[in-house]
A = this chain, B = another copy of it.
Amino acid sequence: MSLSKFFVLCVLHQKPMHGYEVVQAVEQTTKGCCSPTEGTVYPMLNEFEAGGYLTSHFDVVQGRERKVYTLTEKGTIAFQTAVDAWLEATDCIIASKAAAGALAISYDKAEPPCE
């Protein structure tokens, strides 16, 4: 599972959202470290729905249609297992980090290696 997919599930785990909101929520949640575009997120939401990880329904707000996505039980399980893997990896990272001090800036802003 890529980071983008993970954070899409993460924000939908918090509450159901429509596509445009998901894009914004992922960027805000990760402070710009993971910023998939609409070109990535809309197809991803459709794939998740096709795979049974999400359901969707249309809402109308102020005369405007919104396609609101909700995590299914299958999606919740997938997210929770991904979280466990994340936390296991966190333990390893903390162990690796123990020999060095921490810095307090976003890694995306730290000129990460070749992109």
Give per-residue flags for A54-95: 1 if the beta carbon is below 8 A from chain B beta carbons, else 0. 000000000000000000000111101111111111101100
User: Chain B contacts of A1 at CB under 8 A?
Assistant: 107-108, 112-113, 115
Contact surface of A with B, Cβ cutoff 8 Å:
1-3, 5, 7, 9-11, 13-14, 29-31, 33-34, 47-48, 50-51, 53, 75-78, 80-90, 92-93, 96-97, 99-115
User: Chain B contacts of A30 at CB under 8 A?
Assistant: 85, 89, 92
Q: What is the CB-to-nearest-CB distance from A16 to chain B, in angstroms, rounded to a whole number? A: 13
User: Chain B contacts of A51 at CB under 8 A?
Assistant: 113-114
User: Chain B contacts of A93 at CB under 8 A?
Assistant: 10, 83, 86
User: Chain B contacts of A86 at CB under 8 A?
Assistant: 90, 93, 107
Q: Determine which of B84, B89, B110 lies in contact with A105 in the assembled complex, contact meaning CB atoms within 8 Å.
A: B84
Q: Determine which of B3, B5, B9, B77 lies in contact with A103 in the assembled complex, contact meaning CB atoms within 8 Å.
A: B77
- CA of A85 to CA of B10 in the docked complex: distance in angstroms? 16
Q: Determine which of B82, B97, B104 lies in contact with A110 in the assembled complex, contact meaning CB atoms within 8 Å.
A: B82
Q: Determine which of B11, B14, B81, B100 lies in contact with A107 in the assembled complex, contact meaning CB atoms within 8 Å.
A: B81
